[in-house]
Amino acid sequence: MSEINVDSSVLETIQNFKLPNDLTFGKVLSPFMIECDYADGKWGELKLVPYRQLSLDPTCKVLHYAQEIFEGLKAYKVKGEGPFLFRPDENAKRFNLSAKRMAMPELPIETFVKSVEAMTSYSGHFIPQRSGDSLYIRPFMFATDNNLGIKPSETFKYLVVASPSAAYFSTGSVNVLIEQEAVRACPGGVGASKTGGNYAASLLSMINAKKLGYDQVLWLDAVEKTYIEEMSGMNFFAVYGDKLVTPELTETILEGITRKSILDYAEFIGLKVEQQRMSYKELIADIKSGSCTEAFACGTAVIITPISSLGFASGEKVHLKEATGKVTMKIREGLLGLQEGRNEDPFNWRIKVEKKF
Ligand code: COI
């Protein structure tokens, strides 16, 4: 793969970009993006260009048939260390699994990694330096054929944008609604792919959850409405003393890279881990009996966020013994320290990227 083609007109804008003091998640955008087009059965060159509005034909396929996939990963530069990326090759592999399922072309792993490395290295001087903050990088691909026929597009655009961001949740812990009516994904569907429609399908339940005083929704399996799946953008873990339990992967759960890393990291620090079918009824009983002591949600954006309570639309609710549990926080601190360059990295997950500015 050749070098990235840099539009030099954007370099001064990048150099002059000032990081605002008040960051939230995903609102401030880096002043450039990376672009690559697919046509005639092959990918073109990677280009670094000014951040700009896109011009789309009203019949652009993605607007009608949602042929779209995305990824999320972070670059860290806490207290001047780094910048570091965390397992970008895992995002690249997952991107291609999503691409396959959505009838889209795969992107070579090295093209994906090169694009997020370029995003990181040119953003060097405005990656926030407070622990928990980061440059949130959003690679995505969408169908660009212009016509209303329902058939796979033959042209696609791959873009990478990035946002200097604070941690996703400002609150310390979240209250979670167990969704017993709507479902997020069904067997044979696209639940294991990171495609926008899965997130769109979650929004109505999210609105209802907020009305009922909850922060997030926990999805159950579509067939028996019994087994815990995931939380849209987050995976779920319960803590039983020194054991972590998380739903085993199915075709209706998106495999989180944070989830995968926690499983290895937890074993490394001496915890037991189990991936199994988890019935929500058993979980509630275990919380009531005190055997399940903590629960948390994890994902790239949220890192690891403690769950303080789980409940239902009926109003019935159980509170975790520890709203901000010790085991949860130990894993959070350990993994975040590894990502941010404060802790050793026995797994070689952290990638140092050369800064351009
Ligand atoms: C991520 O952690 O990257 C997610 O998937 C959450 C995002 C949709 C905000």
Q: Determine, yes or no, domain membership for 186.
A: yes
Distance 213 CA to ligand 1 centre (A): 22
Percent of the chain whose pLDDT exceeds 90: 94
Confidence band, pLDDT 50/70/90 cuts, at residue 160: very high
pTM of the model: 0.97
For residue 236, the model assigns a pLDDT of: 98
d(CA 130, CA 133) in angstroms, rounded, equals: 5
Q: Cα-flanking dihedrals φ and ψ of residue 90, to 5°? A: -70, -40
Q: Identify the residue whose C-alpha is closest to ligand 1 atom 4.
A: 233
In a domain, 191, yes or no: yes
- pLDDT for 2 equals 58
Domain CATH for 29:
3.30.470.10
Tally the domains of the chain.
2
- Mean pLDDT, to the nearest integer, of 289-293? 97
Q: Which domain holds residue 156?
A: 5-165
* pLDDT score, position 170: 66
The answer on 149 and 10 residing in a single domain is yes
Is the CB of residue 72 below 6 angstroms from any atom belonging to ligand 1?
Answer: yes
Provide the CB-side half-sphere exposure for 73 (13 A, CA): 30
- Across the range 253-260, mean pLDDT stands at 98
Say if 347 falls within a structural domain: no
Give the model's confidence band at 169: pLDDT under 50 very low, under 70 low, under 90 confident, else very high: confident
Residue 346 lies in a domain: no
Mean pLDDT of the chain: 96
- The amino acid that residue 164 corresponds to is P
- Which tens digit of pLDDT belongs to each residue from 61-114? 999 999 999 999 999 999 888 999 999 999 999 999 999 999 999 999 999 999
The DSSP code for 78 is G
The domain spanning residue 250 has which CATH number? 3.20.10.10
Query: Which tens digit of pLDDT belongs to each residue from 6-60?
Result: 999 999 999 999 999 899 999 999 999 999 999 999 999 999 999 999 999 999 9
Q: Output the residue whose Cα is nearest ligand 1's atom 6.
A: 233
**Residue 3 pLDDT grade (very low, low, confident, very high; cuts 50, 70, 90):** confident
By CB neighbour count within 10 A (0-12 exposed, 13-18 middle, 19+ buried), where does 113 fall? middle
Which of 117, 68, 112 is CA-nearest to residue 89? 112
Residue 29 CB-half CA count within 13 A? 11
pLDDT tens digits along 324-340: 999 999 999 999 999 99
Mean pLDDT computed over 308-315:
97
The confidence score (pLDDT) of residue 350 equals 97
Ligand 1: which of 302, 303, 336 to mutate, judged by most atoms within 8 Å of the beta carbon?
A: 302
Q: Is the CB of 303 under 6 A from ligand 1?
A: no
Q: Which residues contact residue 196 at a Cβ distance below 8 angstroms, ignoring those fewer than 6 apart?
A: 66, 68, 69, 70
**How high is the pLDDT of residue 168?**
83
